[in-house]
C-alpha cells in the first residue's frame, strides 16, 4: 500500500474536511468531503452535491476523483474522505458507499491509500474484496 507521512495524511484530511463544508445537501443535511492526492503532489477536492431529483446526488468521493481526472491527472495515489455529519460511535456512517468503492478501484492506483476520517487508513482490498472488473 502507498505510504504517506502522518503530516501528509493530516493535510489531505484537512482538505477533505474543507470540501465537506462546501457540500450541497439540502435534502440529507449529510456533508461529505473528499480529497485526492496525485502523484505530482496536487490535491483535488470534492463534496457531495444533491438535487431535488434525489437519485442525481453525487457523492463527495466521486466528485473529487472525477475532478482529478478532468484536470488531467492519471496517477491518483491516495484519497481522504470525511463525513462531517457522521456519528463516530457508528463507524458505518463514516465509510464510503459501495458505488464510490467501485469507482476508487478503477480510478485510484492499485495500491492506493484510502483515509477514512474517524476510522483510519485502508487499502482497496479492504474496501472492496472480490470486485467486479472488465
Q: How far is the CB of 7 from ligand THU (least distance, A)?
A: 25
**What's the distance, Cα to Cα, between the start and end of the chain in Å?**
23
Comparing CB distances to ligand THU, the nearer of 55 and 129 is 55
- Closest-CA residue to 11 (of 83, 82, 66, 63): 82
Cβ 2 to ligand THU, closest distance in Å? 21
Residue 61 designated active-site:
yes
The residue (of 50 and 109) whose beta carbon lies closer to ligand THU is 50
114-130 CB burial, b ≥16 within 10 A, e <16: bbbbbbebbebeebbee
Binding site for ligand THU (CB under 6 A): 25, 28, 30, 32, 48, 50, 57, 59-61, 96-97, 100
Amino acid at each position: 500500500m502507498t505510504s504517506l507521512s502522518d503530516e501528509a495524511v493530516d493535510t489531505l484530511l484537512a482538505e477533505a474536511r474543507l470540501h465537506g463544508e462546501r457540500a450541497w445537501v439540502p435534502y440529507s443535511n449529510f456533508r461529505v468531503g473528499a480529497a485526492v492526492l496525485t502523484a505530482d503532489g496536487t490535491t483535488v477536492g470534492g463534496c457531495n452535491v444533491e438535487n431535488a431529483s434525489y437519485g442525481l446526488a453525487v457523492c463527495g468521493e466521486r466528485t473529487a476523483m472525477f475532478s482529478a481526472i478532468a484536470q488531467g491527472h492519471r496517477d491518483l495515489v491516495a484519497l481522504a474522505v470525511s463525513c462531517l455529519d457522521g456519528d463516530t460511535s457508528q463507524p458505518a456512517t463514516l465509510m464510503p458507499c459501495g458505488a464510490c468503492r467501485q469507482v476508487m478501484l478503477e480510478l485510484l492506483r492499485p495500491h492506493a491509500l484510502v483515509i477514512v476520517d474517524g476510522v483510519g487508513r485502508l487499502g482497496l482490498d479492504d474496501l472492496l474484496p472480490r470486485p467486479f472488473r472488465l
